[in-house]
């Protein structure tokens, strides 16, 4: 019997104008499609513009999401990881999930879970400001009172949904920016107490616990406020003290140089998986990025651009991830992919006018 794999693609929920606060970044009312539509080449041979075969659809429309779920499931993408935001004492960009995915009649064909994208919001989302100095619009670090509200919302609104992704019965919840988490909570000890409370709240809600997942970067020291003696914490200390249950990545650009050939990047990613295996006892779920080129968000050229990331080479990378999963039979068969729809970072599975359904077909060939 063929093994079943959980291919989880990140979802950037900004391709909708349903969130009123999104108009401050994208005034046309179509979310970041506004930036995609305006994108053009920065030099001769640059791979832009690229256009979505499905059009500039509203992903908060349940009928649109029903179509996308069918396409994903048909190509063996069976989990969506929603980037989830909390700014200025309330959620931001929830409509893609709440109205689109949860409103879709076929959402039980897919699983989903949340990545708390708790980084600060800056001017990069607004191309009109991208040439100026970096400006923080909303601080992603929140105090204990707000953190409790976050925990209560995700437990009450999402964890009990039949399609929410769980490991051993525990809902999976990823944290993107652990340094920001600790900063808002007064340091590592404050974050530890808050996450213990989160686990207790999950048990009180009827779950066996919480499966807490860390979004990895490269190994680094965290200069956290509130640390004893002002000493920085290592990645290992963060994982140990905050009791993360598993690890994965969000993007290749977070731990290696991407201004080179795709297969060189993938070879480095494989070495990083092996290093993590040696360094940590927690399960690591292998990550594959489709590519990287965030020039659509900027007027000036951003030189970090992946070269040669064709669907055929992406398929090779997926086979490496599949081999890693097969070599770890004691852990869930999960891998993460960047992404379902990161158009302004040029790392998406959705069909375009360059490769058609090429990236989705690659997933189906490997995991179908």
Q: Give the residue from 165, 262, 282 showing the smallest Cα distance to 216.
A: 282
The DSSP bridge partners found for residue 213 are: 174, 246
Q: Which residue in 288, 278, 253 sits closest to 362, CA to CA?
A: 288
Q: Does residue 122 belong to any structural domain of this protein?
A: yes
247 is a domain residue: yes
Q: What is the pLDDT of residue 319?
A: 98
Give the model confidence (pLDDT) of 219-265 as tens digits. Answer: 877 665 444 445 678 899 999 999 999 999 999 999 999 999 999 99
Q: What is the pTM of this model?
A: 0.97
**Is 274 a residue whose pLDDT tops 90?**
yes
pLDDT of residue 223: 64
pLDDT of residue 224: 58
Percent of the chain exceeding pLDDT 90 equals 91
Helix-strand-coil split of the chain, %, nearest 5: 40, 20, 45
Contact predicate 156/215, CB 8 Å? no
The CATH code of the domain that includes 194 is 3.20.20.80
89 lies in some domain: yes
Q: Residue 123 has what pLDDT?
A: 84
| Pick from 247, 145, 244: nearest CA to 194 | 145
Whether cis (ω within 30° of 0) applies to the bond prior to 166 is no
Other residues' Cβ atoms within 10 Å of the Cβ of residue 265: 24
Write the CA distances from 156 to 82, 171, 344, 361, integer angstroms: 16, 12, 32, 36
Quote the number of domains for the chain. Answer: 1
Residues linked to residue 215 through DSSP beta bridges, in sequence order:
248
Whole-number percent of the chain with pLDDT over 70: 97
1 belongs to a structural domain: no
Tens-place pLDDT, residues 80-136: 999 999 999 999 999 999 999 999 999 999 999 999 999 999 888 999 988 888 889
> How many residues comprise the chain?
368
List residues bridging with 90 in a β-sheet: 87
Considering the chain, what is the average pLDDT of its residues?
Answer: 95
Q: What is the pLDDT of residues 282-334, one digit of tens each?
A: 999 999 999 999 999 999 999 999 999 999 999 999 999 999 999 999 999 99
Domain span at 199 = 6-367
List C-alpha distances in Å: 223 to 58, 123, 179, 228, 250.
40, 24, 8, 11, 22
pLDDT for 217 beyond 70: yes
pLDDT-derived band at 3 (thresholds 50, 70, 90) equals confident
């Amino acid at each position: 019997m063929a093994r079943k794999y959980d291919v989880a693609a990140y979802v950037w929920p900004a391709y909708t104008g349903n969130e009123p606060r999104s108009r401050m970044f994208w005034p046309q009312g179509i979310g970041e499609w506004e930036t995609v539509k305006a994108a053009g080449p920065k030099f001769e041979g640059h791979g832009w513009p690229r256009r979505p075969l499905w059009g500039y659809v509203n992903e908060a429309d349940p009928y649109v999401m029903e179509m996308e779920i069918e396409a994903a499931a048909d190509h063996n993408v069976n989990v969506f990881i929603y980037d989830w935001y909390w700014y200025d004492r309330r959620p931001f960009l929830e409509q893609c999930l709440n109205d689109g995915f949860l409103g879709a009649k076929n959402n039980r064909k897919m699983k989903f879970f949340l990545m708390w994208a708790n980084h600060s919001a800056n001017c990069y989302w607004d191309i009109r400001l991208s040439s100026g100095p970096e400006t923080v619009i909303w601080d992603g670090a929140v105090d204990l009172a707000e953190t409790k509200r976050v925990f209560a919302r995700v437990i009450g609104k999402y964890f009990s949904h039949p399609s929410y992704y769980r490991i051993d019965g525990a809902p999976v919840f990823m944290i993107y920016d652990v340094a920001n988490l600790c900063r808002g909570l007064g340091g590592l000890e404050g974050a530890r107490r808050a996450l213990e409370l989160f686990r207790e709240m999950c048990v009180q809600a009827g779950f066996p616990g919480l499966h807490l997942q860390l979004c990895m970067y490269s190994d680094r020291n965290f200069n956290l406020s509130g640390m004893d003696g002002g000493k920085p914490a290592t990645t290992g200390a963060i994982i140990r003290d905050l009791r993360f249950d598993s690890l994965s990545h969000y993007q290749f650009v977070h731990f290696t140089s991407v201004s080179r050939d795709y297969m060189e990047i993938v070879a480095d990613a494989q070495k990083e998986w092996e290093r993590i295996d040696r360094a940590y006892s927690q399960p690591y779920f292998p990550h594959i990025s489709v590519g990287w080129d965030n020039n659509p968000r900027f007027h000036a050229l951003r030189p970090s651009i992946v070269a040669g990331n064709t669907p055929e080479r992406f398929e090779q990378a997926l086979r490496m991830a599949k081999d890693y999963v097969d070599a770890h039979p004691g852990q869930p068969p999960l891998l993460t992919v960047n992404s379902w729809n990161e158009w302004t970072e040029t790392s998406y599975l959705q069909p375009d006018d360059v490769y058609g359904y090429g990236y989705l077909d690659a997933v189906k060939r490997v995991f179908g």
